[in-house]
A and B are shown apart, each in its own frame.
Chain A
Amino acid sequence: MNIRYGITEKEIEAARFCIDCASSLGAEGARVSLSKNVLDTVALLNGDIDKVTHCADRSIYLYLYIDGKYGTYSTNLLENEQLEDFVRRAVDATRMLTRDEFRKLPEASRCERNAVDGLELGLYDPAYAGITPRQRTEMAMAGSIFPGDDVRKNVPGDATDDARDDTSDDARDDARVKDAAPYRIISEECEWNDSVDDNYLIDSQGFEGRHTETSFSFWTEVTICAEDGKKYSGYSWKASTRLKDVSAGGCSQEALEKAVAQMNPKRVRSGKKTMVVDCNSSSRLVSPLLSALSASAIQQKNSFLEGCLGKKVFSQDFYLDDLARTPGKAGSRLFDTEGVATADRVVIEGGVVRMFFVNTYMAGKTGLEPTIEGVSRPVVRPFSSFGKSSVPDHSHNIPDTDTKVIPASARTNPDTQVIPNLSREEIMLQCGEGILVTGFNGGNCNQTTGDFSYGVEGFLFSKGKIIHPVREMVITGNMTELWNSLLAAGDDPREGTRWQIPTLAFKDVTFNS
């Protein structure tokens, strides 16, 4: 298949040249990562074109292992003469550093062998090659709440010079949302993006791998002003590796509705409450866990999960997998940045920490078995503690083995499990009352201790129904305690995201207002 804007044979030769050059200068090991990315964007402001950009990047990253020393270097000057000077300087710079016995290439047997043309995971959409500037504009405008009758007059790349005969104010008056609502639309910003990323990795041990993927997304944010002069914003987005899966229609309307829903927020009394976190925001609570599972953090004593491998730390209902090899899904990859083959793995199994993310260097430093350098596509399995009717049978998905690598026969993606209605609404209904968190506003988690404090926005709900938006609320606690209070995990992770984290519910979370 011909990849539009893909890596050329000449560029692959440039990568090989770097390996050969480094070897000839005395490097005992070398790895080159060649990346090529093209991104096109059409941005609208109030339904009219605001910005059109075309970005095309390519770069070479060189990892050198010389005399037990290690350095990393990059350049986007890829002519052979320039590369020779680059590699020579890199070799000299590496020799200045201190020896480190643990810096080495991964064992060749751990590296992926089947990433030949970059298309194995089906992440490149051939439809990308056919996108025209006109289509980009049409797709951007399809999501707008402003009238789009004259889209064709405004398409960059067309041979027409018809100027759009409107103004922002006129367009705002004509917006489909015009009604007697107690607010006015301040602005609508929409953005269409499509991109291709082509990556080629080669090392001096003979490894070669390629990974190619396309990405398509639409994003919109609508800001309104209420009658009292206060402003509120709502956003919406869609994303996929497949063009056909990104339909922008209705996105801005959804963003507008989210903005309107935030009007007239009220303070809620502080205390311990049930918290439901919307699937658009729930990754924020998984991120500290994955950071703490990094061997680099553990080696530096900068992880609250140090010493937890094989121990039950979290709720027995909490299951987190890394489904790295799911065809067609964003985040999937056959090899990591070292070339090491990925696998579908259990990360947390019934609350037990089953793996750390250990690259070759950290394996040497810590004595841990090397695994993979980082998570690819984390997936939280759905469950509910409220009733057996919604509780999934995990057994089909949990390997009864110590390897923690999910065998192919059991490589079931929770996406596809048939679990009755574990939507956000169902979870809220099961929880009864609490706070629905729809966004985080600042905050942090102390990776060393697991203590966190986040600003949150969202809604008070009762009997599963939203009562009113809340304002100026903060949640505090500790990550270990939080994930021990897990009540439910939905079956609604956003399509098109690398992290498949659904709506989550926790009990007895400390809210301050």
Chain B
Amino acid sequence: MKKRVIRYLGMLKKGIIGISIELVYPLIVTVVAFLISLVIFLSESSFR
């Protein structure tokens, strides 16, 4: 059991950069989507 936990922690240590990258990538998607919606919103409201 102890061995398993140590192995898991070792894996986590290696994966920590990966995890943080993975946590950031949805945010990038969200920001890009926001920009798209902003462009459409502004063009819509200026056309009125």
- Do A and B bind? no
Write the residues of chain A forming the contact surface with B, with a CB cutoff of 8 angstroms. Answer: none
Write the residues of chain B forming the contact surface with A, with a CB cutoff of 8 angstroms. Answer: none
